[in-house]
Amino acid sequence: MITKDYPLFIIPQSMLPSLRMEKRIDFGSHVHDQHQSKYTGVVCSPNFVKSCLIDLNKHLGELLPTITEEMRYALNRELPSSKDWHPIPSFETSLRIIGLVSGRVNVGLPLSRRDEWLDQYLQYPIHFFSSVAALSKWPHFLRPIAQYWMPQLREIHEIEGKVQELLAPQFAERRNGLKEKPNTLVQWVWDNSEEEMKTDDYQSKLQILATVPTIYTVAFGVAQCIFDLATRPEYLPMLREEYQSVLQAANGNLTKDSFSKMVKLDSFMKESQRLNPLTMVSFERKVLEPLTLPDGTRLPAGAHLAAPSFHIARDPEYFEDPNEFDGLRFLKLHRDQISSGSLKDQSKHQYVSVDETSLHFGYGRQACPGRWYAAVEIKLLLGSLIMDYDLRLEDAKGGRPTSKVDNMFIYPDPTKMVALRKRV
């Protein structure tokens, strides 16, 4: 496949196991090329990945009360209190709620709730992706000059400057020595950085870039689930019953174990993601050193490759009636395989599981390290939403809003609304 910047080799699914742990291919290097790092300054930093993979997952249990408290605050702030039907834009609302909740984990209070912070934080990816699109229109040899005429690039550099100003006091506090280290992404990234990387410029750049993986991806997933729930309100009673019983069993204090008991909601989310994932392809990698696939195909250094995740997820060989939405599909697969004794891996059909047929969180060595946290946030948001609200499509005749596709990304139509009505 020829993209605007490089040929992308779509590798057959059968080759995936041989590449699963391969170190000569790299996700971050692919992202650098894909997002024009020379001009946009995108960095896929190992310190940031480590902070998500190790620190975030290690502290996830302790962070649950904070996440739950912030979710309550965000829902009260962003959702209507009307007992009559009230339209909301599914994506924008999801984005602001997740922006507040993830923002609290990323930079902490009071900054995460300040409007000037949230507005910059949530606007950045829009300007970032339009910069990438604008740059791609120019031939490579003209980009070093063209960059100076691009309003989109100016915009992202301006936001970076404002974000740096807002974060500067946090970095200064760390240089002066903190009495107690907070459990925030700012802190983990700081601790995982070499001394020469502890500059305001570099640290704030990592934090503003974090809005894409830690907020936009989750908000896309939430908005897609909300469209699916509003299209199929018949799922609401069973999902409410499950959420209510898990909440009761935990005396209102949800733990990691509570989230793993939300098996119907988990299946619903995975089905929503199967049909409307984040991207058309996954397992995107750049080849760092030449390598030969088991079928003899030779991949030169510098080549880009990806797996056809969208098409695999709609292949009738792996999924019965693949274009039909069945919210309990993955729960049924789990139960059927348990009763037939054929389930080797208990977690196989979970939202967060990755394998050769479930690639929407990536695959192998560099699969998404934030997926457990994302699952918690999405379950908490959807569970709270359905307990407090009835929901339906604003335009019922139009049916389930169709996703938009742009440059391999699949995203929920930002113009589409759902209607909410407070239940009690």
Binding residues (CB under 6 A) for ligand HEM: these are 27-28, 44, 48-49, 52, 56, 213-214, 217-218, 221, 278, 282-284, 360-363, 366-371, 373-374
Burial label for 50, CB within 10 Å (0-12, 13-18, 19+), is middle
Q: Report, in this order, helix, strand and coil percent for the chain, each rounded to 5.
A: 60, 10, 30
Q: Measured from the CB of residue 53, what is the shortest distance to ligand HEM in angstroms?
A: 7
Q: Measured from the CB of residue 409, what is the shortest distance to ligand HEM in angstroms?
A: 11
Q: Measured from the CB of residue 276, what is the shortest distance to ligand HEM in angstroms?
A: 11
CA angle 273, 14, 26 (to 5 degrees): 70
- Cα separation of 353 and 133, whole Å? 32
294, 300 contact by CB (below 8 A): no
- Closer residue to ligand HEM (CB): 20 or 392: 20
Q: Measured from the CB of residue 374, what is the shortest distance to ligand HEM in angstroms?
A: 4
Q: Which amino acid is at 377?
A: E
- Closer residue to ligand HEM (CB): 8 or 52: 52
Q: Measured from the CB of residue 98, what is the shortest distance to ligand HEM in angstroms?
A: 9
- Identify the H or E element spanning 387: helix 371-388
- Cα separation of 225 and 223, whole Å? 5
225 is in an annotated binding site: no
- Cα separation of 219 and 126, whole Å? 14
- Cα separation of 403 and 417, whole Å? 13
| CA of residue 280 relative to chain centroid, distance | 14
- Closer residue to ligand HEM (CB): 153 or 189: 189
Q: Which residues on neighbouring strands pair with residue 390, listed in sequence order? A: 421
- Closer residue to ligand HEM (CB): 200 or 355: 355
Sign of CA dihedral 91, 92, 93, 94: positive
- Cα separation of 236 and 283, whole Å? 34
- Closer residue to ligand HEM (CB): 45 or 337: 45
Q: Measured from the CB of residue 42, what is the shortest distance to ligand HEM in angstroms?
A: 12
- Closer residue to ligand HEM (CB): 132 or 150: 132
> Which residues are known binding-site members?
368
> Which residues are known binding-site members for heme?
368
